[in-house]
Structure 1
């Protein structure tokens, strides 16, 4: 029997540089752990559960993520947003809260996830921006990186662009958008350097997939690998990754959209 039948979806954003990812881990600071501690204080009890829509890595940030709160008694979630934000650290912000439907599943009902990998070219940015943009070096070939990004679009086997978990046996993912772009104007977390973003949207991602895709494109832009190597890796049965992971500080989970338009 469900002991916490009341479900609420909260939207949030956070700067990930001080956190060891989303998921609770013993002895380290995480986004989920910080949220749980704050909810215990604000609700004045600990009879609740939190489930996130995405498990971001250590150092990864988020613009518009989501988590589900399970409670034994009903609440009006909007009544708690100010209190939560007043007690959360300044690098985590609750944006909204809504009651969820009984059938809604915050993991299974994800329609798309959108990521941006932000990188600076040329002069190294001020260290103040280290939590939101990676440094790609003095020069990269953006034109060939754009060609490389387009290779990821469509349904592909990404086994060579992920970290393989013990129980992972399906490596096919559908990428609907994969491009090198200028970031939108008005993003206050970005310096005024020459900034580009690798924007990728898909219905789901494997562990470290976006960071390995970004690393491959940056290596391509520096002439360290070729377009054919990326293409061959998408068609290869080998299990070894084509390249390492790009630094986590450039990666932002930009949006999680659901099949249920309520959220």
Structure 2
């Protein structure tokens, strides 16, 4: 990156419904691909690099993610943000931007990520919610699911709660928060009483980990599995996935937290 010594951190949110995930891929529409196309138009050149803090899956949304922009010359983050937002589609928005030190790394300096999986129980929600709310069925035992969620807290081997990548050999992750509560008021609107969120926070996650954890909790809420089944899966060394994946549309990357040492004055908290 020596030929691009000016580094900027930007905070981003997007609705994942129309996109095949964050990462740029040939032949499909992705958030990174659309973002880079817009940046190229605003800058008038393609001498830049974009590095995302988290590669969300197809259909997954983001409330407060981040990406790093490397440039060969300086810019005004506030003016750039305004112009960029005017040229992005309505389902992608840049929230804030700032200059960061050259040694800042938007991937390596992440200390925590928080996901929320939003789901409805009972009456099927209005189709307009489908972009960021999953439907979990007519009846679920929510108190039992809340007990199940607490089983994920702590350091566990999550090999049965993830999709195995080619280079994945470390399945241990420490979850610092895992709970189910009423969704309440989010995204500037008030949700119905039958809408809930499974919120989970950790230093990092395995591929599809949150969606498989959520799927296990839904099966638990339907009483198709037990609390003991989840506990046993967390200590099992089997490689096969224990639950399926919950639908992607309920999953939202809610926050990315960076280490204090990398923050500059004015950084978002």
| Same fold (TM > 0.5) | yes
1:52-72: CA deviation from partner (whole Å, max 9, x where unpaired): 000000000000000000111
Deviation at 1:12, TM superposition (A): 0.7
Equivalent positions of 1:113-132 (< 5 A) are 113-132=113-132
Deviation at 1:82, TM superposition (A): 1.2
1:171-213: CA deviation from partner (whole Å, max 9, x where unpaired): 1001000000112424336643510000000000000000000
Equivalent positions of 1:211-226 (< 5 A) are 211-226=211-226
Structure 2 unmatched ranges of 5 or more? none
- The residue number in structure 1 matching 2:182 is 182
Equivalent positions of 1:202-241 (< 5 A) are 202-241=202-241
Q: C-alpha distance in 2, partners of 1:118/1:209?
A: 15
Equivalent positions of 1:93-172 (< 5 A) are 93-172=93-172
- The residue number in structure 2 matching 1:15 is 15
Question: Is the Cα–Cα contact under 8 Å of residues 116 and 254 in structure 1 kept in the other structure?
Answer: yes
Q: Which moved more, 1:187-196 or 1:125-134?
A: 187-196
Question: Is the Cα–Cα contact under 8 Å of residues 21 and 60 in structure 1 kept in the other structure?
Answer: yes
Please give the secondary structure, in 1, of the residue aligned with 2:4.
Answer: coil
- The residue number in structure 2 matching 1:65 is 65
Deviation at 1:100, TM superposition (A): 1.1
Structure 1 outlier segments of 4+, above 4 Å: none
Deviation at 1:101, TM superposition (A): 1.0
Question: Is the Cα–Cα contact under 8 Å of residues 125 and 193 in structure 1 kept in the other structure?
Answer: no
Q: C-alpha distance in 2, partners of 1:21/1:177?
A: 25
Q: TM-score, normalised on structure 1?
A: 0.97
Please give the secondary structure, in 2, of the residue aligned with 1:17.
Answer: helix
Q: C-alpha distance in 2, partners of 1:117/1:218?
A: 12
1:212-261: CA deviation from partner (whole Å, max 9, x where unpaired): 00000011101111111110110001010001100000000000000033
Q: TM-score, normalised on structure 2?
A: 0.95
Q: C-alpha distance in 1, partners of 2:223/2:154?
A: 25
Deviation at 1:77, TM superposition (A): 1.3
Q: C-alpha distance in 1, partners of 2:18/2:190?
A: 18
Deviation at 1:2, TM superposition (A): 1.4
Question: Is the Cα–Cα contact under 8 Å of residues 183 and 191 in structure 2 kept in the other structure?
Answer: no
1:190–1:171 CA distance, 2 compared to 1 (3 A): farther
1:261 and 2:253 equivalent? no
- The alignment of Structure 1 onto Structure 2 pairs a total of residues equal to 263
Deviation at 1:76, TM superposition (A): 1.4
Q: C-alpha distance in 1, partners of 2:50/2:186?
A: 32
Question: Is the Cα–Cα contact under 8 Å of residues 129 and 189 in structure 1 kept in the other structure?
Answer: no
